[in-house]
Amino acid sequence: MSKIKSFRPLLLAMAFLFTSAMPNWTTVAKAAPSLTSDFKQLSSSQIVSAMGAGWNLGNQLEANNNGTPSETAWGNPTVTQALIQKVKAAGFKTIRIPVSYLKAIGSAPNYTIDPTWLSRVKQVVDYAYSQGLYVIINMHGDGYKSVSGSWLICDSSDQATIKTKYQKAWQQIANTFVNYNEHLIFESMNEEFDGTYGTPNTTYYSNINAYNQIFVDTVRQTGGNNSARWLLIPGWNTNIDYTAGNYGFALPKDTYRSSTVPSSEKRIMISVHYYSPWDFCGEESGNITQWGATATNTSKKSTWGQEDYLNSEFKSMYDKFVTQGYPVVIGEYGSVDKTSADSTNNTYRAAFAKAVCSTAKKYGSVPVYWDNGYNSQYGFGLFNRSNNTVTQQGIINAIMSGINGN
């Protein structure tokens, strides 16, 4: 002990000489990219108001041919700027662009996304972004076991590989769009779950929570506008009850966000979908074709999922998240065309859409209609993508009426 003390003056002198000769790392370290001048810091209420009513470019960039992304593989034509302009002209302010990567992601360790595919994704994003629309892009079909090439599987035994691949993929996507302003929103994934309906498995749910945390950390750490933009995350299968209820959903920590974001504000949104009652919204039969208080044939109306249920579901998301500063995005909703079974069906499809939008507005949420491009029996289409015409003006009118409080 005494020897150590005797060397202290010499050690202090050496330390002084060493540190005085070192550069000032605070000045020579490369500064993180700053926000671009056109990036606007929008609060939760401001972003919801600005996003208005949304529309999904469904069954396009998430389509695939045996696991290889292909926007025409599921029967829709190549996406054009003219289509997006038509959607904007109809009154929509937000476009959600589902994207699958699947076999377009290369092998370990870099997991490089096929640059041709990523370039096409960027081009379609630009169709909407250049029009001043809000744009949501996600990782869509990569988590479906039923999709060839899927890999983002929450009940897989090899979670370490999945998480590394997921981080590398989102890092590339985030860097591609780093300079886009607040009009671009990243959504971590789509209807992620183990494929079984019912109470979520807590272990698999924890893996979904981990994906969301990796997503937030990865995007934020790419810097620039990504450090402050709004990010959208889902719970179990984008199910309202399993997200708002006590089933294991965990909000990710936003550790790396920009210091320019006011400490009292959030930059994370919650994604859920709404297709209730399913026998009206999605079941491919002519049994249930009417919905709501104006239904004229009770035998054609579901026994559940009417206005009171819709209100309680959206209110539960409001109470759990919106009141805490986390906006809710109803990333998908809609009902299929059953006019072949009931000529009055479109009246009730419009009533349903209006009710979803007006209730979303009431509870501070953004409704985004699911359009898969199909306009025949059991299709969700509002537009004909081949000639860029409106096919369901009545439903569009109902959506705009609902979101505008008319």
Note if the bond before 33 is cis, omega within 30 degrees.
no
Query: Is 62 labeled as catalytic in the residue annotation?
Result: no
From the list 164, 166, 168, the residue with the least C-alpha distance to 189 is 166
State the Cα angle at 257 between 252 and 261, rounded to 5°.
115
What is the C-alpha separation between 46 and 230, in angstroms, rounded? 12
Please classify residue 107 by burial: count the beta carbons closer than 10 Å to its beta carbon, then call 0-12 exposed, 13-18 middle and 19+ buried: exposed
Q: Which of 62, 187, 191, 313 is catalytic?
A: 191
Ramachandran sector of residue 193 (left: φ over 0; alpha: ψ -120 to 50; beta: rest) = beta
Query: Is 191 labeled as catalytic in the residue annotation?
Result: yes
State the Cα angle at 221 between 19 and 183, rounded to 5°.
140
State the Cα angle at 64 between 62 and 66, rounded to 5°.
150
What is the C-alpha separation between 390 and 406, in angstroms, rounded? 21
347 neighbors 338 (Cβ within 8 angstroms): no
For residue 184, CA distances in Å to 128, 138, 224, 389, 399 come to: 10, 11, 13, 26, 22
Q: Which residues are catalytic?
A: 191, 332
